[in-house]
Amino acid sequence: MDDFLVRALLAGLAIAFAAAPLGCFVVWRKMAYFGDATAHSSLLGIALGLALAIPLMFGVAIVAGCVAVTVSLSSGRNGFAADTILGVFSHSALALGLVMASLLPDLRIDLLETLLGDILAVSQTDVAYIWAGAVSIVAVLVWRWRSLLNTTFSPELMIAEGGSARFDKLLLTLALALFVALSIQLVGVLLITAMLILPAAAARTMANSPERMVGFAAIIGGCAIAFGLSASWFWDTPAGPSIILAASLFFLATSSLGMLRA
Amino acid sequence: MTSAPPLIEAKNISVRAGRKLLLENVSVTISGGEIVTVIGPNGGGKTTLLRALVGAVSLSSGVVIKRPDLRVGYAPQRLMIEASMPITVDRFLALAGSNTKADRISALERTDTFHLRQTSMASLSGGETQRVLIARALLRKPNLLILDEPTQGLDQQGEEDFYALLRGIRAGSGAAVLMVSHDLHVVMAGSDRVICLNGHVCCSGAPETVSVDPTYLNLFGSRASLALYQHHHGHSHDGHDHSDHDHG
């Protein structure tokens, strides 16, 4: 097996690991649109990274983080629904990124790669960053686990029991922004939300507790990475989309099994 | 009445959402051991009042004063829980924190939901969910239970049973109850005090006082006279204040 394939597998497994708990929250809290919108804003992050000559991942993390914080802080204050505010910020960031890309031709943004990702091109340093980021996401979610589940049930209940729903919501959106930054090179802007949602949704019918759902999501995500990369290796298909396709086959299998049992 | 300070007291609180005023200058006092029901039209701010008392919405003016030993058990109107989250009733209760298996079993028994212990939260009916939420509120050993529309979706018999359950809880723990309801006649029979809310407090006091208050009759029209009729059949009077507010 070639080195680049090992690196791709290692990076992919890190993403599947972080996507499992985060993706479950995205499914439980119906944050799919939030994931998409944060991913869209990453184009500005790439432009920023190129302009400042810092790793693109950092540029994306900064921009996606700013969008996430702004949206978290401003929602519920000015009469617009959260998804409207999100749409305004993330699409403005996307448009600004595209304008910057055309005004500064030296930046050489590869749009196709940004949209679809290129997991086979990850470097050793990338793998290290991705694992560090994935471990931090999982650590934060484990740390606030009970509280995050409670805010998911009912923010008011959480506050009445002495917690702070706002803090947990902010943590979750920041974790999501970080995840976007880690996975953009692997699966691309278009498929980031799919990487979050598909393993979690596929795990739902098999699980009888939130923790098991996360566990199954991690296993399914990991297998999807392995199968997708194999498909890419043997049949020369694009890696990112093959991974997502493998995950959707898992979803199809578990949900039909679930329907048969019901 | 008792001379002890009230459990919780809202003084002239106002809450706004954008330009809209949801609560205007509302004052409410809950003392130990009483069952108080908030009634009022949809959009009259009932849920907002409860949320303001538990601290889940910010006040634009006024204060909420809590007695130092206040322990609130709060049951929201519904959960955001989705079929997408696999979780049993027992685990849901455990998430309330610092409780043992024995605590949870006892809370479920008190709300007649023990048989649901290993059931998935997503498969509960509306009434079952409400009882489980109350079980969770009881786990905190509250001296004030705040319940948002706990009788929603129950028929009249179910609702009467529910008030019997609340009186049992009060008898067992001495907890006061503040709740929102929409069904007038059972409210009139089951509460010590009624607060009629329509953005501001229209009238409040013992059920028999409120049920003849012109502002109340005005708000509820013909349904009010039905409640009044029901009310005359057997309810003990023990003289509560009727605090009349000016409207404006």
Spell out the residues 6+ positions from residue B194 whose beta carbon is closer than 8 angstroms to its own: B36, B37, B38, B39, B187, B188, B204, B205, B206, B207, B210
pLDDT(A225) > 90? yes
List the structure tokens of B231.
């009310």
A226: confidence class by pLDDT, cuts 50, 70, 90: very high
Q: What is the pLDDT of residue A90?
A: 82
pLDDT in tens, A43-89: 888 888 888 888 888 889 999 888 888 877 776 566 677 778 888 88
Look at residue B229 in the predicted model and tell me its pLDDT.
42
Q: How far apart are CA B51 and CA B64, in angstroms?
A: 11
User: Which tokens is B106 given?
Assistant: 């006892």
* pLDDT for res B5: 85
- 3-state SS string for chain A: CCHHHHHHHHHHHHHHHHHHHHHHHHHHCCCHHHHHHHHHCHHHHHHHHHHHCCCHHHHHHHHHHHHHHHHHHHCCCCCCCHHHHHHHHHHHHHHHHHHHHHHCHHHCCCHHHHHHCCHHHCCHHHHHHHHHHHHHHHHHHHHCHHHHHHHHHCHHHHHHCCCCHHHHHHHHHHHHHHHHHHHHHHHHHHHHHHHHHHHHHHHHCCCCCHHHHHHHHHHHHHHHHHHHHHHHHHHCCCHHHHHHHHHHHHHHHHHHHHHHHC
Residue position matching structure tokens 């028929």: B155
- What pLDDT digit, counting tens, does each position of B154-171 carry? 777 777 788 788 888 888
In angstroms, what separates the C-alpha of B52 from chain A's closest C-alpha? Answer: 10
Under an 8 Å CB criterion, which residues of B touch A?
17-18, 51, 54-56, 72, 74-76, 79-82, 84-88, 91-92, 95-97, 120, 133, 136, 140, 146
The tokens for B59 are 């006040």
Alpha-carbon span A19 to A200, nearest angstrom: 8
pLDDT (average), residues A168-195: 89
Residues on chain A touching B75 (C-beta within 8 angstroms):
157
pLDDT in tens, B82-115: 778 899 999 999 998 888 899 999 889 888 889 9
Tell me which chain B residues have a C-beta less than 8 angstroms from the C-beta of A153.
79-81, 92, 95
Question: Is the CB of B76 less than 8 angstroms away from the CB of A154?
Answer: yes
Collect all residues of chain B within an 8 Å Cβ-Cβ radius of residue A211: none
Mean pLDDT, chain B, whole residue set: 80
Testing the interface with A: which of B8, B87, B146, B180 to mutate, by most A Cβ within 10 A? B87
Judged by DSSP in three states, B78 sits in: coil
How far is the C-alpha of A94 from the C-alpha of A180, rounded, in Å?
Answer: 14
pLDDT over 50 (residue B232): no
CA distance B233 to A176: 59
Task: Write down the mean pLDDT value for chain A.
Answer: 87
In this prediction, does ipTM exceed 0.85? Answer: no
- SS3 state at B35: strand
Contact between B88 and A208 using a beta-carbon 8 Å cutoff: yes
Q: What is the pLDDT of residue A46?
A: 86
pLDDT at residue number A77: 60
Q: Residue B169's pLDDT is what? A: 82
Residue B220 has pLDDT above 90, yes or no: no
Instruction: Spell out which residues of chain B touch residue A212, defining contact as CB-CB under 8 Å.
Output: 86
Using alpha carbons only, what angle is made at residue B199 by residues B196 and B204, rounded to the nearest 5 degrees? 20
Cα gap A174→A30, rounded to integer Å: 16
- Name the amino acid, one letter, at A242: S
CB contact under 8 A, B72 and A160: yes
* Residues on chain A touching B82 (C-beta within 8 angstroms): 28, 30
Lowest mean pLDDT among A15-24, B165-174, B195-204: B165-174
Extract the tokens encoding A68.
């996430």
What is the tens place of the pLDDT at every residue in B113-166?
899 999 999 888 878 888 899 899 989 888 899 988 877 767 777 777 887 888
Residue the block writes with tokens 């740390």: A143
Q: pLDDT band for B247, please (50, 70, 90 cuts).
A: very low
Instruction: Detail the DSSP E strand segments found in B67-198.
Output: 72-75, 144-147, 176-180, 193-198
Instruction: State how far the Cα of B36 lies from the Cα of B103, in Å rounded to an integer.
Output: 26
**Distance, CA of A66 to chain centre:** 16
Q: How far is A213 from chain B (nearest CA, A)?
A: 8
The answer for residues whose C-beta is within 8 angstroms of residue A23's C-beta and 6 or more apart is: A195, A196, A197, A198, A199, A200, A217, A221
Question: Does the pLDDT at position B237 exceed 50?
Answer: no
Buried b (16+ CB within 10 A) or exposed e, A23-46: bbbbbbbebeebbbbbbbbbbbbb
Residues whose CB is less than 8 angstroms from the CB of residue A87 and which lie 6 or more positions away in sequence, other chains included: A37
- Chain A contact residues (CB < 8 Å to B): 27-30, 78-79, 146, 149-150, 152-157, 159-161, 201, 204, 207-210, 212-213
Beta bridge mates, B146: B74, B178
How many Cβ pairs within 8 Å bridge chains A and B?
A: 69
The tokens describing B2, both together, are 């008792």
| Half-sphere exposure at residue B240, Cβ-oriented, CA atoms within 13 angstroms | 24
Measured from the Cβ of residue B152, the count of other Cβ atoms closer than 10 Å reads 17
Q: Which chain A residue has its CA at the smallest distance from B80's CA? A: A153
Closest Cβ opposite residue A79 in set B18, B72, B86:
B18
Query: Min CA distance, A209 vs chain B (Å)?
Result: 5
Structure confidence at residue B240 (pLDDT): 42
Secondary structure class of B144 (helix, strand, coil): strand
Tell me the pLDDT tens digit for each residue of A100-133: 878 877 767 777 777 888 888 888 888 999 999 9
Contacts of B14 (CB under 8 A, 6+ apart): B21, B23, B24, B25, B26, B59, B60, B61, B62
Residue of A nearest to B120 (CA): A208
List the one residue out of A128, A109, A99 whose CA is nearest residue A11. A128
Q: What type of residue is B84?
A: S
Q: What is the pLDDT of residues B32-77, one digit of tens each?
A: 888 899 988 888 888 899 989 988 888 888 899 988 888 888 888 8
Closest residue by Cα to residue B208 from B169, B242, B159, B158: B242
Say how far apart CA A29 and CA B85 lie, in whole Å.
9
Confidence of residue B78 (pLDDT cuts 50, 70, 90): confident
What does the alpha-carbon distance between residue B70 and residue B105 come to, in Å, rounded to a whole number? 24
Instruction: Classify the C-alpha dihedral B123-B127-B128-B129 as positive or negative.
Output: positive
Query: Residue A13's closest CA among A112, A117, A118, A119?
Result: A119
